[in-house]
Amino acid sequence: MSSDRKLIERQKRQYTSISTPPIPPTVAPRSANVDTSSASNSRSSSAATSSSPLPQKKSIPARLREYARKSREMVRQFITGSRDYLRETREAKELKRRKVVNGYEWTRREYFLVKKNEQDFWRAIPFVFCCVFLGEAIPFLLIRGIVPSTCLTVEQLDARWKRLAGVRKKLAAAAVQSVESGEAVRGTNMPASAFLSDDFVLRLAHTQPQYFLIDNLTGPQLRAYNKYLGIWRVGPAPYLRRVLRQHVDYIRGDDLLLKKEGLESLTPLELKWAVEARGLPSADATPERMREDLSSWIRLHINDDQEVPFSLMLLTAIIRVELQSQMNEVMRVASSRIQEHPHLTHSTDSGILAEEQRSTAVASG
């Protein structure tokens, strides 16, 4: 008994300086340094596990509170936007009266205000109906696109235009294919790159304008053009033709005023409105780039030599934007390859670029 008591006392003295439990007598004890490090690692791992809990799903009451908060924010936003809409309506009414009574000529900014207010009027009818009778659907109104522009923030407008850019990307690829297959200009195959030249577009408008007149467009063509422009695209062909013609009249009047006043005074937001109305890209585009695209559009659309039908103008813009997007993608891929292989020479760089251009041409054609 005395020998066993002495053995236990020695084991206690052996582990008094170690925080881990004593090693069983049958296992050879390790050094104190190793045990201390392993113990600290285990404590740190357990502490890290306890300090980073798994994300928990929100409870139903929390979701309802979040839903109510967003609804209140949107209600405040819509109230402010409704006041702005009423103010713009009064201004547009006064501008129309002055034009009829006194022959007053609108500036470009006044012309834009009047036309935007007319579009907001048709959005305001279902918008007011939903707010009065379907108040719980307010957070979903932005999805349907029935909210007047005065009730939208700049961020919401940018989000809407980015979604429209995704739709345009798909339609642009189909447009390039239809041109190169001869479907766009019935039976006439032509390379899409030919539309990069203004002279070719003017010659096409002079020799074959019948394929681009609004009265001669088919129902699928009307729906595609309206969808690309972001205007109403549901309904029979006569109605869609009337909607497109109204938009064409607005664009032509706007082009005349922009050519007269210039583009330097346009703010970035006004530039975005202008290029989006013509089907030109505004997402991730600088003001200088938007001014350049808008200037090219006006120079081709408003010229003294040859009138260019709007559908041909739009088809030209679609093809140019798509080809520029393909070229940017080629340059991005070539640049990434060069960064991965910095030892490549300039000739190798040119070979990669030419190969990417050929593959892009095969994919698009």
Q: Confirm whether 120 is domain-assigned.
A: yes
Are 281 and 165 spatial neighbours (Cβ–Cβ below 8 Å)?
yes
3-class secondary-structure state, position 267: coil
pLDDT in tens, the chain (365 residues): 555 555 445 544 443 333 344 444 444 444 444 444 444 444 444 444 444 455 567 788 887 788 777 778 877 888 899 999 999 999 999 999 999 999 999 999 999 999 999 999 988 887 777 776 665 555 555 555 678 899 888 888 998 899 999 999 999 989 988 888 877 777 677 888 999 999 999 999 999 899 899 999 999 999 999 999 999 888 999 999 999 999 999 999 999 999 999 999 999 999 999 999 999 999 889 999 999 999 999 999 998 888 899 999 999 999 999 998 888 888 888 777 777 766 655 555 555 555 555 544 444 44
Q: How far is CA 341 from CA 21, 105, 139, 336, in A?
A: 56, 61, 50, 9
pLDDT at residue number 350: 53
- Is this prediction's pTM over 0.75? no
Q: Confirm whether 176 is domain-assigned.
A: no
d(CA 39, CA 19): 8
Residue found by looking up tokens 């251009």 in the block: 357
Q: Which two tokens stand for residue 113?
A: 């205000």
d(CA 254, CA 246): 12
Burial class of residue 181 in the structure, from the number of CB atoms within 10 Å of its CB (0-12 exposed, 13-18 middle, 19+ buried): exposed
Burial class of residue 290 in the structure, from the number of CB atoms within 10 Å of its CB (0-12 exposed, 13-18 middle, 19+ buried): buried
pLDDT at residue number 274: 96
Q: What total of structural domains would you count in the chain?
A: 1
Count CB-CB contacts under 10 A for residue 322: 21
Q: Confirm whether 322 is domain-assigned.
A: no
Q: How far is CA 163 from CA 160, 169, 282, in A?
A: 5, 10, 12
Q: Confirm whether 91 is domain-assigned.
A: yes
Q: How far is CA 220 from CA 51, 213, 217, 234, 313, in A?
A: 59, 14, 8, 11, 18
d(CA 315, CA 310): 8
Q: Which two tokens stand for residue 16?
A: 């008094």
pLDDT at residue number 44: 46
Q: Confirm whether 232 is domain-assigned.
A: no
Q: Confirm whether 123 is domain-assigned.
A: yes
d(CA 129, CA 295): 40
Burial of 113-127, coded b for 16+ CB within 10 Å and e otherwise, reads bbbbbeebeebbeeb
pLDDT at residue number 77: 85
**Residue span of the structural domain in which 143 resides:** 60-152
159, HSE (Cβ side, Cα atoms, 13 Å): 8
Count CB-CB contacts under 10 A for residue 15: 15
Q: Confirm whether 74 is domain-assigned.
A: yes
Q: Confirm whether 197 is domain-assigned.
A: no
Amino acid at 170: K
pLDDT at residue number 52: 47
- CA nearest 200: which of 215, 213, 185, 214? 185
- CA nearest 322: which of 176, 223, 160? 176
Question: What does the angle CA 203 – CA 208 – CA 212 come to, to the nearest 5 degrees?
Answer: 105
Residue found by looking up tokens 């030599």 in the block: 305
